[in-house]
């Protein structure tokens, strides 16, 4: 454990800085062992199709490069929230590999979005929404949102001068979202907001706090009750002792190692697997990642968020091997998942219920509707984020340490109602508070006084979302344009038409086929 | 509105007893009263009373609610957090324990015999995970994997078994603001709301996730119309609009509701617990006090029992933060005019305090089962004896008078 003491030996009297040392220490990582006695964990010869399941649903074999339009939209909804008709067409032209390569390549964010986001200072939901809607790196943002759910922390413990710690945390998870998992955990453990949220900063050796140690395993690395016992938690808590926060300025809090409060005794952590030793937090991260269950846990979660919720053990083990072989780089795992047959199998397509944020962001990315300057849209983001909070997803304020409950849990009645509100919020506030519509994707305004335009409009909107409408549904949507027989759309005054159209777009965006992806 | 709320609460049995047949026949012609009389509890032998479940998420520190403040072990294990005589009101019937003065309504109601505290409740082989322990309490089974009972919360099993009404069990979180219950329509002639209903009505798909969305849409349409109408006239006695406000609002609607579930969060006090309690406890107290007043104003308090519980208690010893880590046993608190007021279960002893956490002596299911049997008037066996699980049903005393 030489790296463990590396940090400590710098300590002159009591305090030393932790930040900067960890990320610049390339020797801190070694090749993870696969453990022994864990028969079958890494012996999978590639995943094979399970019996009785849809073809390819458990296959990591590469999907053919040629994509249909529906497949391209599916990929972009899963990896990038949504896509405009033009982006879908581009993906079809490029093929799967090039599209995924492009998604993984991080591009510079135009300064206008950085500037717009910064106007919202420490309001993370608003700032984040700018990037979710506008960033040229939607996959990185999508993964950051995923990690935020897994590494849930909350701004609700922050008050006054502490609020900037939320910004530091948010920048960290966005920076690390497609990086190295070991580095990520190192950064996470000494992240100021995390140190406050799970009490890592108030765990001196004489009175240690178990909160971080427990969640580190349960939520971040192994899963609930995997490998560890309550005794292990008590022992591992000792390894995490001694980290605390130093406030040097209004906007910063620096994690420091308070050596007098670090427990330097020999710890017996996971004794059947790991030698007893004087572990510190870096040692805890390494010994945990040395367990094959850790790579499996993370690989399983990544598969589930992109593909479907029932990966076979063979798939998980195969992905875990990719993960461990790449020394816990996240990108190769994501690349395999996004190019796998499983992603395009019947078990996956249309079989995930989106969270409110993913849904709303996906709709507006599909509609090719963009933010304007702060001046023209006033408080749109404040209101949108309030709607999303009331839809069950208040970013940086999860319901608890385990993040949000995904899937059908999003279908609380009132949450659905507020989702519909969030969708219209964005369209209500064009420049000067006019109704804003994606005019460039719709039939030309000059044709809106023609009788047939109603069906054409419905079909056009359905095509953006790749919805296959039945005749019955199509008729219902046309009736909405006609306001239930109040006045046919093509006869409606031109200044009223956008409002009616916005109602239709919202209703179609709220349909079951758009809420799933 | 308030004048007729009391009438709505009467079930058929007491209705006939109190009014006589003549008035009863007249009342049955009234659509509102008819609904109440036909759905309220009577169907399979229930009492028709109201049970409110208040889940305190995060792990409620019961030793900061009911403190053994004279105990030296308690004081020595909690040098910062132990409550002293000034912080609490000693129980009239046991001066060694006192209720935190941050909970005046509980102190008041305890002195009136309306608070029953079942001490040191839990379940075998305590689990320290919030998530898992909350699920154990919600599903009413110890073993969450491989049992038949899992998949439905116990109060949903209760509803399905005895009063399969759409409004029989309401969760304030899923109802939200009753007046905003429905597709938010801004078209003429409710075109969008109509369409929203028609797009899901009667739809069936083989994909369970898509079906779940259709089901949710249908639920919103059907329930929304009724809930909006029935809660329109509710007026609270106070200004607070938390979950207890919603509970009173829903209780006022006369929709045949027998169980209202709500939750308050933030009780995971690992750090700065002394400060955190100054926010958490008065909030819970004030919201609950307003609820009690609202129910009294509507003449419904007499028919109400509120059960407070949490996924676990906290450690006996404070940590250095100063706060308390996850413990095991906790108290369940029943409040209402017809509970058997006083202390139940095992009173916290020096031996219990010498343990790292309070042990458990009473299974939480025994307390819920008593609420089902002795308060709602149903057999609890089909609710808790599922998946081959058994538990110790003994509490040692009767929770209802």
CB contact under 8 A, B190 and A479: no
Asked if residue B357 belongs to a domain, the reply is yes
Cβ burial of A105 (10 Å; 0-12, 13-18, 19+) is exposed
User: What does the block give as tokens for A18?
Assistant: 């932790």
| B220 contacts chain A (CB < 8 A) | yes
User: What does the block give as tokens for A399?
Assistant: 């319901």
Rounded Cα distance, B187 and A418, in Å: 17
Same domain, B24 and B118: no
Same domain, B91 and B17: no
Q: Which pLDDT score is estimated for A251?
A: 72
Same domain, B263 and B345: yes
Same domain, B269 and B368: yes
CB contact under 8 A, B319 and A208: yes
Rounded Cα distance, B238 and B293, in Å: 9
User: What does the block give as tokens for B388?
Assistant: 């081959």
Same domain, B266 and B369: yes
User: What does the block give as tokens for A464?
Assistant: 């953006």
CA distances (Å), A457 to each of A444, B258, B278, in order? 10, 48, 57
Q: Which pLDDT score is estimated for B364?
A: 98
CB contact under 8 A, A208 and B271: no
H helices of A329-441, in order, are 330-338, 356-366, 374-377, 380-390, 413-428
User: What does the block give as tokens for A217?
Assistant: 């395993």
Q: Which residues make Cβ contacts (< 8 Å) with residue B289, sequence separation at least 6?
A: B104, B105
| Number of helices (H), then strands (E), in chain B | 15, 11
Question: What residues in A contact B321, CB-CB < 8 Å?
Answer: 199, 202-203, 207, 209
Question: What residues in B contact A485, CB-CB < 8 Å?
Answer: 189
Question: What residues in B contact A350, CB-CB < 8 Å?
Answer: 207, 210
Same domain, B122 and B19: no
Q: Which pLDDT score is estimated for B186?
A: 76
DSSP track, B39-104? HSSGGGT----EEEEEEETT---GGGTEE-TT-HHHHHH-TTT---GGGEEEETTEEEEEEETT-H
* Residue from B172, B181, B192 whose CB has the most chain A CBs within 10 Å, to mutate: B192
Asked if residue B302 belongs to a domain, the reply is yes
Same domain, B21 and B100: no
Q: Which pLDDT score is estimated for A106?
A: 97
Asked if residue B341 belongs to a domain, the reply is yes
Query: Which residue of chain A has the CA closest to B77?
Result: A207
Rounded Cα distance, A102 and A96, in Å: 10
Question: What residues in B contact A418, CB-CB < 8 Å?
Answer: 176
- Do β-strands A243-249 and A15-17 pair in parallel, antiparallel, or remain unpaired? unpaired
The answer to which of B32-46, B330-344, B367-381 has the lowest mean pLDDT is B32-46
Cβ burial of B390 (10 Å; 0-12, 13-18, 19+) is exposed
Domain residue limits at B142: 47-163+258-384
Alpha-carbon A76 to chain mean position? 14
Q: What CATH number is associated with residue B86?
A: 3.40.720
CB contact under 8 A, B192 and A503: yes
Q: What are phi and psi of A39, to 5 degrees?
A: -55, 135
CA distances (Å), B205 to each of A508, B20, B202, B208, in order? 18, 51, 10, 7
Rounded Cα distance, A136 and A82, in Å: 12
> Across all residues in chain B, what is the average pLDDT?
86
Same domain, B70 and B11: no
Closest chain A C-alpha to B186 CA, distance in angstroms: 8
Query: How many domains are there within chain B?
Result: 2
DSSP letter (8 states) at residue A73: H
Asked if residue B128 belongs to a domain, the reply is yes
* Length of chain A measured in residues: 517
Q: Which residues make Cβ contacts (< 8 Å) with residue A244, sequence separation at least 6?
A: A195, A201, A202, A204, A255, A256, A258, A261
The HSE-up count of residue B281 (CA atoms within 13 Å, CB side) is 25
CB contact under 8 A, B219 and A413: yes
Rounded Cα distance, B345 and B325, in Å: 23
Ordered mean pLDDT values, 10 residues apiece, chain A (517 residues): 35 38 38 35 38 80 98 98 98 98 97 91 92 97 97 81 89 97 98 94 94 96 95 97 86 87 97 97 98 98 97 98 98 98 97 97 95 66 87 89 89 90 79 81 96 96 97 96 89 92 95 96
**HEC secondary structure over A215-247:** HHHHHHHCCCCCCCCHHHHHHHHHHCCCEEEEE
CB contact under 8 A, A503 and B212: no
ipTM above 0.90, yes or no: no
Q: What are phi and psi of A227, to 5 degrees?
A: 70, -45
Banded model confidence at residue B20, pLDDT cuts 50, 70, 90? very low
Question: What residues in B contact A506, CB-CB < 8 Å?
Answer: 192
Going B120 to B124 to B129 to B133, the CA torsion angle's sign is negative
Rounded Cα distance, A320 and A291, in Å: 11
Most confident of A242-251, B12-21, B245-254: B245-254
Same domain, B292 and B335: yes
Mean pLDDT in residue range B350-377: 97
| B325 contacts chain A (CB < 8 A) | yes
CB-based burial, A23-58: b 16+ in 10 Å, e otherwise: eeeeebbeebebeeeeeebbebeebebbeebbebbb
Q: Which pLDDT score is estimated for A16?
A: 41
Rounded Cα distance, A455 and B136, in Å: 52
Stretch 114-143 of chain B: residues touching chain A, C-beta under 8 Å: 127-132
- The predicted-structure confidence for B264-315, as pLDDT tens digits, reads as follows 999 999 999 999 999 999 999 999 999 999 999 999 999 999 999 999 999 9
Residue reference for tokens 């002639």: B189
Asked if residue B179 belongs to a domain, the reply is no
Asked if residue B192 belongs to a domain, the reply is no
Stretch 161-220 of chain A: residues touching chain B, C-beta under 8 Å: 196, 198-199, 202-204, 206-211, 214, 218
Same domain, B371 and B281: yes
CA distances (Å), A87 to each of A137, A303, A339, A464, in order? 14, 24, 18, 11
Asked if residue B325 belongs to a domain, the reply is yes
Please say if the pLDDT value at position B100 is more than 60: yes
Same domain, B111 and B69: yes
Asked if residue B64 belongs to a domain, the reply is yes
- What is the helix (H) or strand (E) element at residue A314, kind and residue range? helix A313-325
**DSSP three-state, residue B151:** coil
Same domain, B15 and B147: no
Q: Which pLDDT score is estimated for A29?
A: 37
Q: Which pLDDT score is estimated for A381?
A: 84
Whether residue B307 contacts residue B52, with contact meaning beta carbons closer than 8 Å, is answered with yes
Stretch 453-512 of chain A: residues touching chain B, C-beta under 8 Å: 473, 476-477, 479-480, 482-487, 499-500, 503, 506-507, 510-512
């Amino acid at each position: 454990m030489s790296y463990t003491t590396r940090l400590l030996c710098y300590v002159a009297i009591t305090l030393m800085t932790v930040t900067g040392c960890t990320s610049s220490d390339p020797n801190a990582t070694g090749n993870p062992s696969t453990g022994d006695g864990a028969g079958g964990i890494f012996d999978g010869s590639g995943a094979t199709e399970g019996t009785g399941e849809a073809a390819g649903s458990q296959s990591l074999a590469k999907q053919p490069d040629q994509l249909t339009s529906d497949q391209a939209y599916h990929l972009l909804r899963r990896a990038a929230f949504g896509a405009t008709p033009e982006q879908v067409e581009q993906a079809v032209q490029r093929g799967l590999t090039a599209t995924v390569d492009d998604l993984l390549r991080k591009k510079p964010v135009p300064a206008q979005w950085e500037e717009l986001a910064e106007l919202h200072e420490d309001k993370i939901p608003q700032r984040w929404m700018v990037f979710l809607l506008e960033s040229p790196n939607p996959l990185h943002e999508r993964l950051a949102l995923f990690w935020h759910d897994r590494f849930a922390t909350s701004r609700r413990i922050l008050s006054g001068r502490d609020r900037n710690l939320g910004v530091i945390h948010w920048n960290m998870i966005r920076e690390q979202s497609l990086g190295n998992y070991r580095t990520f955990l190192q950064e996470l453990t000494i992240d100021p907001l995390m140190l406050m949220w799970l009490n890592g900063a108030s765990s001196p050796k004489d009175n240690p706090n178990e909160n971080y140690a427990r969640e580190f395993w349960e939520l971040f690395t192994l899963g609930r009750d995997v490998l560890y016992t309550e005794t292990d938690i008590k022992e591992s808590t000792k390894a995490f002792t001694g980290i605390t926060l130093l406030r040097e300025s209004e906007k910063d809090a620096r994690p420091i190692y308070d050596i007098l409060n670090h427990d330097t005794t020999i710890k017996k952590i996971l004794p059947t697997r790991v030698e007893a030793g004087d572990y510190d937090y870096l040692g805890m991260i390494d010994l945990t990642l040395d367990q094959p269950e850790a790579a499996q846990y993370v690989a399983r979660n990544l598969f589930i968020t992109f593909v479907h919720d029932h990966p076979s053990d063979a798939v998980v083990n195969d992905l875990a091997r990719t993960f461990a072989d790449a020394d816990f780089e996240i990108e190769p795992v994501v690349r395999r998942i996004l190019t796998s047959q499983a992603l395009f199998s019947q078990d996956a397509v249309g079989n995930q219920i989106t969270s409110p944020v993913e849904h709303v962001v996906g709709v507006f990315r599909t509609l090719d509707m963009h933010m304007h300057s702060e001046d023209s849209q006033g408080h749109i983001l404040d209101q949108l984020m309030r709607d999303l909070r009331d839809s069950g997803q208040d970013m940086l304020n999860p319901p608890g340490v385990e993040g949000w409950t995904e899937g059908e849990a999003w279908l609380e009645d009132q949450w659905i109602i507020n989702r519909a509100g969030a969708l219209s919020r964005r369209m209500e506030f064009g420049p000067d508070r006019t109704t804003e519509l994606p005019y460039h994707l719709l039939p030309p305004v000059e044709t809106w006084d023609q009788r047939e335009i109603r069906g054409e409009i419905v079909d056009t909107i359905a095509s953006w979302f790749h919805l296959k409408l039945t005749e019955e549904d199509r008729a219902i949507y046309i009736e909405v344009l006609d306001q239930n027989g109040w006045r046919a759309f093509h006869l409606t005054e031109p200044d009223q038409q956008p409002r009616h159209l916005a109602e239709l777009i919202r209703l179609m965006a709220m349909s079951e086929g758009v809420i799933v992806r | 509105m308030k004048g007729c709320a009391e009438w709505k609460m009467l079930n058929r049995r007491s209705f006939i007893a109190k009014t006589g047949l003549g008035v009863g026949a007249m009342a049955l012609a009234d659509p509102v009263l008819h609904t109440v009389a036909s759905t309220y509890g009577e169907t399979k032998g229930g009492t028709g009373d109201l049970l409110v479940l208040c889940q305190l998420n995060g792990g409620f520190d019961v030793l900061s609610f009911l403190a053994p403040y004279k105990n030296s072990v308690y004081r020595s294990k909690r040098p910062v957090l132990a409550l002293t005589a000034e912080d609490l009101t000693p129980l009239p019937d046991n001066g060694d324990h006192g209720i935190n003065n941050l909970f005046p309504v509980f102190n008041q109601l305890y002195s009136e015999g309306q608070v029953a505290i079942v001490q040191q409740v839990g379940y075998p082989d305590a689990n320290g995970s919030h998530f898992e322990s909350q699920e154990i309490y919600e599903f009413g089974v110890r073993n969450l994997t491989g049992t038949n009972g899992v998949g439905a919360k116990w109060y949903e099993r209760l509803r399905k078994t005895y009063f399969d009404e759409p409004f029989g069990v309401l969760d304030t979180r899923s109802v939200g603001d009753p007046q905003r219950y429905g597709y938010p329509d801004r078209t003429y002639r409710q075109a969008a709301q109509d369409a929203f209903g028609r797009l899901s009505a009667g739809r069936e798909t083989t994909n369970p996730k898509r079906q779940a969305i259709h089901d949710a849409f249908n639920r919103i349409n059907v329930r929304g119309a009724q809930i909006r109408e029935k809660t329109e006239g509710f007026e609270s006695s106070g200004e607070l609009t938390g979950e207890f406000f919603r509970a009173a609002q829903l209780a006022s609607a006369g929709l045949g509701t027998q169980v209202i579930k709500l939750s308050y969060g933030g009780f995971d006090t690992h750090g700065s617990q002394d400060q955190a309690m100054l926010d958490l406890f008065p909030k819970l107290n004030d919201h609950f006090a307003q609820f009690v007043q609202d129910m009294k104003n509507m003449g419904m308090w007499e028919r109400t029992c509120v059960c407070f519980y949490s996924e676990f208690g906290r450690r006996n010893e404070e940590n250095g933060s100063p706060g308390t880590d996850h413990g095991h046993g906790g108290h369940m608190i029943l409040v209402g005019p017809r509970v058997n007021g006083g202390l139940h279960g095992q009173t916290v002893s020096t031996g219990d305090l010498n343990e790292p956490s309070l042990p458990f002596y009473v299974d939480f299911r025994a307390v819920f089962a008593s609420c089902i049997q002795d308060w709602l008037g149903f057999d609890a066996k089909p609710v808790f004896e599922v998946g081959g699980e058994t538990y110790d049903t003994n509490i040692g005393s009767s929770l209802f008078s």
